[in-house]
Structure 1
Amino acid sequence: MDRLVTPYEGSGHRPWDDSAEVPAPLHLHQTPVSSRWVDYNGHMSESCYLRVFGDNSDAFFRYLGIGEDYREGGHSLYTVETHIHNRREVAEGEPLVLSLRLLDHDAKRLHVFHEMRHGETDALLASAEQLLVHVDIARGKSSEMPPELQQRLATIRRSHATLTTPDVVGKPMGIRR
């Protein structure tokens, strides 16, 4: 049986450097639009926007220090909720550049915001707001992250606190009357 593989699978994670400056926002993932992601309308299918945002999350996990060895140790981050805002169409081969900002975190959860931009024009193509939870895989329950991950998140959050919160964050979906 084939399973979904991210571009970063098998790459481990980068070592954390306490003295390194944390970019605000982070730019960890870029990719061209794959021909497999293009639908009958000739542009990237809606499900593939989520796939690309998921790959961006995976790049962030590895930046944070979460790779295969961490999962083999029995813990991971799972997505609890995602809100995607599609802004523009994008076609096969066009370059995608993603950013990620950490909006908030606590001992068990992360609130992140992704932006997908065109790699040549910088046009905003889509954004995604996600809530992630740290889990004990064997127990199937949320669990607190180890202190070193919480400290890294606090460092990232301090850097990202300088960024303006996008106006779509925390907005409910519905028909405005």
Structure 2
Amino acid sequence: MNNKDAVSARQLRSAYEGQKATPFDFEAVVSVPLELHRCTVQQGWVDYNQHMSESCYLLVFGDSSDAFFRYLGIDDDYRSGGHSIYTIETHIRYLREATLGEPLRLTLRLLDVDHKRLHIFHEMYHAGSGALLANAEQLLMHVDMQAGQAAPFSPGLLARLNVIHSAHSQDSRPVDKRRVIGINRRTPT
């Protein structure tokens, strides 16, 4: 890594870094899907093809996850207690291009949860036209950072996740999830 790359890597930050979580309201209606993050395609996200670089889609989906974490109550104060959520696996499907200055709207659904894992599904839309640009499916794990291993969610955090999952599991809209990557070979007829 050259010096310029090292400086650039240190500047990579979540849009929500340093922001406090708001108290979770168990009485509030949970939106299906959640819409917690919006942004605009930045100059630094555009590649030599004049559209958003593939790595920047992950950056935006990561910011959507961070907005979700704040919604749950996970912020810098929570992490200072030695716990966080790490990504185990991500699958991104690129459907349409996004170019410099275009507005993006992200949605998130909690597909499943157990005592230490989350399965979430993001969709990225053009905020003006409504066109679906990409989606991402992620498996996340709650981690004890000092032990360096998976750890169960606290009862309070798990209760919040269960409320969200209950609302999101009622959504009958099909989700493009668990796609298998491969070349679909057609036999000649």
Task: State the TM-score, normalized to the length of structure 2.
Answer: 0.91
Q: 1:18-72 deviations in whole A, cap 9, x for unaligned? A: 1111100000000000010000000000000000000000000000000001110
Q: State the structure with more CA Rg.
A: 2
Q: Within 5 Å, which residues of 2 pair with 1:16-165?
A: 16-164=24-172
Q: Do the aligned partners of residues 83 and 123 (structure 1) sit closer, same or farther apart at CA in structure 2, a change above 3 Å counting?
A: same
Alpha-carbon deviation of 1:164? Answer: 3.1
For structure 1, list consecutive stretches of 5 or more residues without a partner in the other structure.
none
Structure 1 residues 109 and 165: alpha-carbon distance in aligned structure 2, compared to 1, 3 A threshold: farther
Counterpart of 1:103, as a letter, is: L
Percent of aligned positions with the same letter in both sequences? 55
Q: 2:20 aligns with which of 6, 9, 12?
A: 12
By how many angstroms is 1:167 displaced? 4.6
- SS of the residue corresponding to residue 58 of structure 2 reads helix
Segments of 5+ residues of structure 2 without an aligned counterpart are 1-6
Give the Cα separation in 1 of the matches to 2:39 and 2:161.
25
| AA partner of residue 17 (structure 1) | D
Per-residue deviation, 1:168: 2.7
1:99-150 alpha-carbon deviations (Å, 9 max, x no partner)? 0000000000000000000000000000000000000000110000000111
User: How far off its partner does 1:3 sit?
Assistant: 4.2
**Aligned residues: CA RMSD:** 1.0
Tell me the CA shift for residue 153 of structure 1.
0.6
Amino acid at match of 1:158: S
The answer on 1:173 being equivalent to 2:181 is yes
Residues in 2 aligned to 1:15 and 1:42: alpha-carbon distance in whole angstroms: 41
* Rounded Cα–Cα distance in structure 1 between residues aligned with 2:67 and 2:120: 13
